[in-house]
Chains A and B, each alone.
Chain A
């Protein structure tokens, strides 16, 4: 749609799940397979977005800050490159944060119809967060050497 629409989309995350759901067509496909989500039902979509509207930084859900890094596309379809930080989240994918602010980047492909999101496909970099939280994963590519392996082995 536009950079502005992408900003409104992310502002709706923080506002309420109702506002986010309003941005999707009645017949839609929402996929964030990183979270195991392939959703075509508005009630499921509502529950998927609910944590992002949390405003209590002490309850462990986290306050989720998003920004649009870039929108590339036109009125009908676009790629949104974004960044995210969670403040006060107790865990990320089940891994305790121990009070750390966690964050990463990702991209979302949108197809629009009638001013609404008809299809969404999102992928993002989980590895960089898990690395920041101390898991033995490398941010240097799929074939990066085993963590702790001697150089050249």
Chain B
């Protein structure tokens, strides 16, 4: 197993089992983005304390508190290159959540939910993650939860564009 694949599997395991240990994978001067940056004060974590707030819910083990019980599975690891030629990796993953009261504010009922996402890690000279950029594909989850969100396959040769017309 490559160094990056080994890292990805360790990260995916620790994030849902041991918050202290997963924080140990990160550098103290971390820069962490997992959403659109509208205001860095709220949207970019720049310390271990801020990062802990983001990651700790994923290690919840109580199925009764509404935070959910989470699992990440690594699908693929792409060797990448960070700033100034440093080591980096893109991790493609699937998340599964059970016992969630809500997913991004949307009532989840008792459904088991699943989403894919992509996380990019850049490592410092000590092998710690100095930077993370993550985005989730929330759309299938919203569809599962009944929100009126569509993903029309408009690029397929036989796609019927009239299907996009607003219903009367």
Contact = CB atoms under 8 A, between A and B. Distances in A.
9 contacts: A44-B156, A47-B154, A47-B157, A73-B82, A93-B151, A104-B36, A105-B37, A124-B135, A128-B38
Interface of A: 33-37, 39, 43-45, 47-48, 50-51, 72-74, 76-79, 81, 91, 93-96, 104-107, 109, 111, 119, 121, 123-128, 130, 135-147, 149
Contacts of A142: 57-58, 68, 95, 97, 100, 103-104, 136
Given A76-B81, A128-B36, A146-B107, 4 more contacts: A47-B155, A121-B78, A136-B106, A145-B105
B104 A51 contact: no
A69 to B, nearest CB: 9
A109 B78 contact: yes
List 7 tightest A-B contacts by C-beta distance, closest first.
A94-B150, A138-B105, A123-B135, A48-B155, A47-B155, A147-B105, A125-B36
A34 B139 contact: yes
Interface of B is mostly: mixed
Contacts, number: 157
A79 B137 contact: no
